[in-house]
Amino acid sequence: MARYGKDGNERSKRIEERRKGRGGKRPQKKRGDENIVSLLFSAIGAVVRHRLKHMNKAFKHVNLGLLDDYKSLIFTIAGVVVLAGIISMFWAMTNKNANEVFVNGKPIGFVKADKTVTPESVKTMVTNVLTSRLGTEVKLENGIEFKPAHAQKKKLLTNDALLNMLSTNLKYKVKADVITYDGGTLTLKNDNETNDLKDRLCAEYIDPNAVIIEKNVLGMEVANAFVDESEITTVDLAYGILSAKKAIENTYNVKSGDYLQKIALMYDMSVDELCRINGIVPEDSKNLKAGQQLTVIVNKPMFDVRVIEEISHNEPVAPNVVKTENPTKPKSYMNTVDAGADGEDKVTERVSYLNGTEESREVVGRENILPAKDKVVEVGNK
């Protein structure tokens, strides 16, 4: 140890003598000769010397002469380590290999930096995914923002993972049919469900054997709007609400051949109820006159339903009468030679019903399906 300590002291003396020869100062470089690298190493050296000064104080009883021999090497190694750390930090700060995705300022994750993947394209992809999943148009309520960032490869989200994450974090509204009625509004998913509801409301007024020309729910206002998904109801629930009927009084004009039981059956009433409302007794049935007005109870639906049907029936066609003259018989003479036979026509009528009650009827077609056989009559001409 003494030998090493002696050599160390001698080396320290030589260094001190060289410094005195330079006036105790190190030669200064001109500012123009400096560059970023030299400044960086100077800064690193200053930091290391500062730490060594503290180490010398801490170990003042230890001979550090030997340390002076390796000071340049120590500075170099320390500088390389620090420089590597700085370069690594600089690389992470300047190499933006990813985009961090934000939804309304909330970070969602990282995606690989790609010029083709933008907030607008991601928004479109999410909209398409939700539209396909929900079966109706979707309108996103949140904004999507990208910020350049550096991220490890294992932290990058795939497109599928990003879309799934966004579809659960984004708020959206769906396009739906909003139906307005006296009690408020009901919302169905799309036009198909609305048409299904209309079909069910019309079904009780439709003859399954008739050809339906038109069916319409009158007064039902339907508008498209973007709504929260929670506002959408089912067809069954909507039908339960809109098919409810309200009992109201209506006027019926008595027709020829009517009687109280027949009228009561037409309106799903009892004879006693019909008599009570009109202040009559069952015995008055035979006294009904055509044109007489009676008050009846009608179960009016929330929406009137008009159904136009085409129905067909066969009607007999009377034969033509063909007369043949017999000059040998007096003019008062008439004799049926051939009674002939009726033919048959198929008649098509278009009938309009409002809530199951006939409004109008017109013949729209007639087809002869069995020709009539002429009736031959012989008459005298004398």
Nearest to 261 by CA among 245, 279, 284: 284
Q: Taking residues 354-358, report their average pLDDT.
A: 87
Instruction: Give the tens place of pLDDT for each residue, 159-178.
Output: 889 888 888 888 999 999 99
**Which of the two residues, 297 and 48, has the higher pLDDT score?**
297
Instruction: Give the tens place of pLDDT for each residue, 37-71.
Output: 565 556 656 655 665 555 555 545 444 454 555 55
Query: DSSP of 206-260, one letter per residue?
Result: --TTSEEEEEEETT-EEEEEEE-GGG---HHHHHHHHT-EEEEEEEEE--TT--H
pLDDT value of position 39: 59
Q: SS3 of 179, please?
A: strand
**Which of the two residues, 300 and 58, has the higher pLDDT score?**
300
Residue 153's pLDDT band (boundaries 50, 70, 90)?
confident
Instruction: Give the tens place of pLDDT for each residue, 115-148.
Output: 888 999 999 999 999 998 888 899 998 889 999 9
Instruction: Give the tens place of pLDDT for each residue, 239-277.
Output: 999 998 888 888 999 988 889 998 998 888 999 999 999
Tokens of residue 138, six digits: 């979707």
